[in-house]
Amino acid sequence: MVEIKTPGEIEAIRAAGKVVAGVLATARACAAPGVTLTELDSAAREVLANAGATSPFLHYKPKFAPVPYPAVICTSVNDAALHGIPGDYRLEPGDLLSVDAGATLDGWVADAAISFTIGPPAADDARLIETAADALRAGIAATVPGARIGDISAAVGLVGRAGGYGISTDLGGHGVGRSMHEDPHIPNRGKPGRGMRLVPGLVIAIEPWFMAGGNDDCYQDDDGWTIRTGDGSRAAHVEHTVAVTGDGPVILTALRRTQGGVVRRGRPAAVGGSQRESEREQREPGDR
């Protein structure tokens, strides 16, 4: 069932989304050579606790998972695309890290992800991350009343395919708000004009993830959670929680308030990508 949120409920999801943005900013700031993924998870737990929020990831156990999820963020390195469990792996220069985070605040849930490299990105990684960010931007731009879910899928998929990347339809975007995964499902490729029509009050997580090798195959690791590329190539994943409104799409997981895809304080909305180390503190999680 697809639930439509009231303006007040969307504001509540935005409050949770600000916490998510803070978690991602912290993870990005902490990620450096020698740092373990568990240390990133600990830093994320502190941000959630300080905000009075909890994690919708922790102890989550969907049907496909043999064990409840043990952490508050997903940390997927290199050929891991999604759902990487933070462990004692120490980040190395050149690693491509995707961090996915959620927050529950006052009963409302938001969900977002960023991808970046540890240190300066290799050219291939920069292009992969930037293409995922472009796809997210295209998907958000398609999130307007009267359009259909297929228009979002098509917009995301076209950008990924133009980049030559593999796209799995097994895992994609989803409704979000009262819980982490609600209807509708939003595949990362599809045909325009198909699926449910978008109406104001629909809140969805749009989350392109692309595989550099160009193959669409992926597999679940022995840990029961981590999704890896079938060909061993690298993957990038970016995500925002977005509300459909009469004024256009509103990103709810940005640190700064955005409306119609444009930040109100005269700054373009940014949705993902790599960046220089020196700019790290000043920029939005997911900024390019």
Type and span of the H or E element at 152: helix 149-162
Any contact of residue 252 with Mg ion (CB under 5 A)? no
> Which DSSP category does 75 fall into?
E
In this chain, which of 9, 79, 111, 287 binds Mg ion, going by CB under 5 A? 111
List the Cα angle 121/126/132 in 5-degree steps: 140
Q: What CA–CA distance (Å, rounded) separates 146 from 219? A: 35
Scanning 10-18, 45-53, 106-114, 246-254 for contacts with Mg ion by CB under 5 A, the matching segment is: 106-114
The C-alpha atoms of residue 185 and residue 174 are separated, in whole angstroms, by: 5
Minimum gap (Å) between residue 205 Cβ and Mg ion: 4
Give the full edge-to-edge strand order of the sheet including 73-77: 73-77, 96-105, 108-117
Size, binding site for Mg ion by CB under 5 A:
3
The three-state secondary structure class of 227 is strand
User: Shortest gap between Cβ of 265 and Mg ion (angstroms)?
Assistant: 27
Q: Are 133 and 238 in contact (CB under 8 A)?
A: yes
Which 3 state secondary structure label does DSSP give 149?
Answer: helix
Q: How far is the CB of 113 from Mg ion (least distance, A)?
A: 7
| CB nearer Mg ion, residue 80 or residue 118 | 80
Between 111 and 130, CB nearer to Mg ion: 111
Please identify, using beta-carbon distances, which residue of 39 and 111 lies nearer to Mg ion.
111
Quick note: the x/- pattern for Mg ion over 181-220, rule CB under 5 A, is: ------------------------x-x-------------
For Mg ion, which is the closer residue by CB, 91 or 238? 238
Residues that bind Mg ion (CB under 5 A): 111, 205, 207
